[in-house]
Chain A
């Protein structure tokens, strides 16, 4: 007991040290990438809570955009600083999600998937159509990171630390939710909806809750991104990005909290290593998606357990389907 606590603390301290040290060993371009990676960790972690109830939405990328546009418009029109734009970015995403719950959660499975895709596309096309205020296809630019106490967060390293703090807090909250009784109820809603209902769970409310919470945090991620990047366009949040979210989650493993996080980290590094093959990069990802669905359905996260099983210690993990029939 004591031993495992000590281990945990050591592990945590080590991880923290690495996270703090890592940007100092990177070239500028890689420091940039590190920031986006950290933001993407939040994106997949927030997507996970949505999928906990078994609904794979296709609107998550657009929800990130909602957060991004919110932060942009607040910054540009009202000169609000990041301490306001980030929570408001999350808030507006959550609000839009809450409104969308009414149509979307009348659907399940296939219908929900298509419905969420349609709703997302409609929002994205709205950004394209209405040049005022959204800037059309070209989007908006001129968003800046804050200057706090003389530190200019435009520089990669300070902004990375800022991102790290925000993302860590968000991850902590998401982790707490997943491991509370709410998380247990979400699990119940996914796998045995009828049983959950018969002990008093309003499945609609819990699916909505997961969707709203997930949208809140991805909205924050959108705000973080735009404050660093400075520009925002509708195409940053299109199907392409949504597919990346799916790839990260699936290749990493959707069964554990840290699976998607592993996925995004490993694939970002992989992405760097195939930088020379820009033209065929999508095909490489496509093939990877197929291969991991067919041969590693539980993702990278399951490899240690599988190895152990091969060597005769422990048992292979079960492989539940992504969705029930």
Chain B
């Protein structure tokens, strides 16, 4: 019982990270129909920023988070303006460009941090919350969870309650129709990738003190993001969030008993099964033929 509760808490915190980057991927795919293969590297850059500013140069953790978010947002905006916009008619071309970016960002990270072992960032929040004598949650993790949930709530508010958010969803639903209604596609694409980038940067920044930081950490991130996106339903943000939490719980569980590799294999198989049985994901609606 105690173990299970502990699992659930850890899974939820993990799920928060998963949701942050998966939602960004969904947003970018929905609005621009490109698969951003460099999304994991955006997360990685967020984490590196924290390492460089906070761990190496003594910046405050919170200001460093802001810088990370800004930086990754800007990278995202540049990608949209110079890569995805010129290749808009050709989703595969956009994807291949993003693979190009992936390599460039990995090299940037290597040049900044050196080739050595993975970097660690000492957690800026100390101490552990103990609940009912047996649940132990480090404050660092509580902070991450609160910020993740806060960011996702803000996003939800933005998408459902503001005019811009509405326009963004309209573009995701049907780009041509939205353009006919006078929605500026370029502007909406910028916003989508800006938001997606910001969330990826935030995820990286929050993960930094809790994980190993290296130039190749994006690989696992993108695999996780794909699994979550597909299982949640490609067009569906709420699906992605739900799938993120469920997959995080599942992954935490399997990892403890069978190891991380088996957990990922299971996740990949799960994803292929979902693609076969219900390609629209758990929350997706079937689009008419």
Contact = CB atoms under 8 A, between A and B. Distances in A.
A103 B272 contact: yes
Contacts of B279: 106-107, 111
Given A280-B111, A294-B86, A119 B101 contact: no
Nearest to A122: B268
B232 to A, nearest CB: 13
Interface residues of B, number: 45
Interface string B218-251: 0100010011001000100000000000000000
Contacts of A109: 91
Contacts of A107: 275, 279
A322 interface: yes
Contacts of A243: 99, 103
Interface residues of A, number: 40
A293 B93 contact: yes
A114 B91 CA distance: 13
Interface in A288-325: 288-290, 293-294, 297, 321-323, 325
Contact of B90 (A114, A280, A290, A322): A322
Contact of B275 (A103, A282, A289, A321): A103
Given A118-B227, A279-B115, A322-B92, A290 B35 contact: no
Q: Which of A106, A121, A279, A285 has the largest number of chain B CB atoms within 10 A?
A: A121
B268 A119 contact: yes
A125 B268 contact: yes
Given A286-B99, A321-B89, A239 B269 contact: no
Contact of B93 (A115, A126, A322): A322
B87 interface: yes
A45 interface: no
Contacts of A290: 83, 97, 100-101
B262 A129 contact: yes
A136 to B, nearest CB: 10
B96 A286 contact: no
A289 B96 CA distance: 7
Nearest to B259: A129
A113 B95 contact: yes
B104 A286 contact: yes
Contacts of B89: 321, 325
A56 B92 CA distance: 9
A280 B107 contact: yes
A258 interface: no
Contacts of B271: 114-115, 118
Nearest to B276: A103
Contacts of B33: 110, 325
Nearest to A319: B90
Contacts of A297: 93
Contacts of A17: none
Contacts of B269: 122
B96 A294 contact: no
A118 B226 CA distance: 8
Q: Which of A103, A283, A321 has the largest number of chain B CB atoms within 10 A?
A: A283
A125 B87 contact: no
Nearest to B273: A103
Contacts of B121: none
A115 B273 CA distance: 10
A106 B278 CA distance: 11
Interface string B164-197: 0000000000000000000000000000000000
Interface string A118-134: 11011001101100000
Contacts of A287: 100, 104
A117 interface: yes
Interface in B73-116: 83, 86-87, 89-93, 95-97, 99-104, 106-108, 110-111, 115
Interface in B6-35: 29, 33, 35
A286 B272 contact: no
Interface string A60-101: 000000000000000000000000000000000000000000
A109 to B, nearest CB: 8
B99 A289 contact: yes
Given A107-B275, A115-B275, A283 B104 contact: yes
Given A103-B276, A113-B95, A239-B219, A321 B90 contact: yes
A137 to B, nearest CB: 10
B87 A293 contact: yes
Given A282-B107, A286-B102, 17 more contacts: A106-B279, A114-B271, A114-B275, A118-B275, A125-B265, A246-B99, A280-B107, A282-B103, A282-B106, A286-B99, A289-B96, A290-B83, A293-B100, A294-B87, A297-B93, A321-B93, A323-B90
9 contacts: A111-B279, A115-B275, A119-B268, A129-B265, A282-B103, A290-B100, A293-B93, A293-B100, A325-B33
Interface of A: 56, 103, 106-107, 109-111, 113-115, 117-119, 121-122, 125-126, 128-129, 239, 243, 246, 250, 279-280, 282-283, 285-290, 293-294, 297, 321-323, 325
Among all A-B residue pairs, the 7 with the closest Cβ atoms: A286-B103, A283-B107, A290-B100, A286-B100, A322-B92, A289-B100, A321-B90
